Copies of this chain bind each other. A is one copy, B any other.
Amino acid sequence: MFEFQVEATSGAARSGLLTLPHGRVETPVFMPVGTQATVRTLSPRDLMTVGASLVLANTYHLHVRPGEDVVATLGGLHRFMGWDRPLLTDSGGFQVFSLDGFRRVDEDGVEFQSHVDGARRRLTPERATDIQWILGADVAMAFDHVAPGRADEPTARDALERTLRWLERCARRHRELSDGGTVGPSDRQAQSVRPSDRPTVRQTLWPILQGGTHHALRTEGLQRILEMGAWTGLAVGGLAVGEPKPAMYETLQALEPRLPAALPRYLMGVGFPEDLVAAVERGMDLFDCVAPTRNGRNGAAFTPDGPVNIRNAAHREDPRPLDSGCDCETCTTFSRGYLRHLFVAEELLGLRLLSLHNVRYLIRLAAQMRAAIRAGDLPRWAADWRRRYTQPG
C-alpha cells in the first residue's frame, strides 16, 4: 500500500505507478478537483469515462459544508460522492490563507470566518488531520502556511518554518490515528459521529514543501522534511500562487535534482496545459487545478491547437467537433455550432460538456506524456506539442 514505482524516465521526467488503497494511479496524472465532493457539473460516471484515476476534494469546503461528521455518517467521502477510486484531500491550508481579512494566524493554527455563514472556526494541524481522517481519502495533506507568490525571503522563511513545525504536529496526530486513536472533539457536533458508521481508514499523509521562489529555502525545507521521517509522497506547495511563471519553472528546475526519486511528487494547484507539460519535464508527477472545469463553465476549451472560446460567433455554423482528436462524449457527439448554441442559450448542458472535455483533455495530456516518457521521447514530443499549441490559429 502507498507504494510508488518509477517505471521509466526521460530526462527529469518520470512515468510511474502509485498504489493506493482504492486503486492504482499511473503517473504523470491530472487530478480533477471536486471542491465540494463533486467535480463541478460532472458525475462519477463521467469521471470514469474520461479516465480519472484520482480525484481531489477540499477539506476546508467540506468542513464548513456539510461538515465532516455528515460525510462520515453517510459512509465517508468515497461513498458520499459515489467515487470508489483513489481520493486525495488537501488540508485546508491554502483555502484559509486565501481568506485574507477573514482569518487570524497564530502558532496554534488559523481562526477564520466561514465563507458560508460567517461563523468563526479554527483549523489547527491536529484538526485538519482529524477532519481528513474522518473524510477518509487515500491521501491526506499536511496543514501548511501558504505565503503569497511574491513573498520576500523573510516572509517565505516564516511560512516555511511554521509549515515544518505544523508538519510535525500533523504527522504525530496522523500516527496516533493510524495506531487506532480516536479523533478529537469537533468544534460543533462530535456526538453525531458514530464510530461504527466510519469505514476503516487506510490513509497516508503527505508533507508540503513551502519556500516560495527562494531556492535556498526550498533546498533547506526539503532536507528538513526528509529528515523528519519516511514519507510516501511529497507535495510542492506555494507555487502557481501569483509568482511570475519563469520563477515557478526555475524553482522546479533547481529543486528537481534534490528530490528523492522514490517519492511521487505532487505539484499543487497546477493544471493549465503549458504548465503541466513544463512541470512534467521538471520531474513532477501529480497535478490538480480547477482550470478545466472553471474555464469550461466560462466557455473556454483546451484543444491541441490552443484554447478555443466557444461563444465566438465564428463557431455559429461550425460543424466540426471542439477537438477532432478527442474521444470524449462532447467531441464525439456534438458540433462547435451546437456547443455555441448551448452557451448562447444559457443551457446548463454546455457548462457540463465543456468541463467534461477539458478534464478529458488534461487527463489525456498526462497520458500522452506518460507514453512519450516510456518511449524515451519526451523532449521531441514536448517540442511538437508546444509548436502546435502556441501557433496562431
Residues on A facing B (Cβ under 8 Å)? 36-38, 40-45, 65-66, 70, 73-75, 79-82, 192, 316-317, 319, 329, 333-335, 337-338, 340-342, 344-345, 347-349, 351-353
Cα-based distance from A338 to B38 in the complex (angstroms): 10
Q: Is the CB of B74 within 8 A of A38?
A: no
**Which of chain B's residues have a CB closer than 8 A to the CB of A42?**
349
Q: Work out how many copies of this chain go into the complex.
A: 2
- 27 A–B pairs (Cβ distance < 8 Å), ordered by A: A36-B342, A37-B338, A37-B341, A38-B347, A38-B349, A40-B348, A44-B333, A45-B329, A45-B333, A65-B341, A65-B344, A66-B341, A66-B345, A70-B337, A70-B341, A73-B317, A74-B317, A74-B335, A74-B337, A74-B338, A75-B335, A79-B335, A80-B341, A81-B338, A82-B333, A348-B352, A352-B352
Q: Is the CB of B353 within 8 A of A351?
A: no
Can you name the residue of chain B whose Cβ is closest to the Cβ of A349?
A: B38
* Of the residues B66, B192, B341, B351, contact of A348 by C-beta under 8 Å: B351
Q: Is the CB of A352 within 8 A of B41?
A: yes
**Which of chain B's residues have a CB closer than 8 A to the CB of A79?**
335
- 18 additional A-B residue pairs with CB within 8 Å, beyond A74-B335, A80-B337, A80-B338: A36-B341, A37-B338, A41-B348, A41-B349, A41-B352, A43-B349, A45-B329, A45-B333, A70-B316, A70-B337, A74-B337, A74-B338, A75-B335, A80-B335, A82-B334, A192-B317, A348-B348, A348-B352
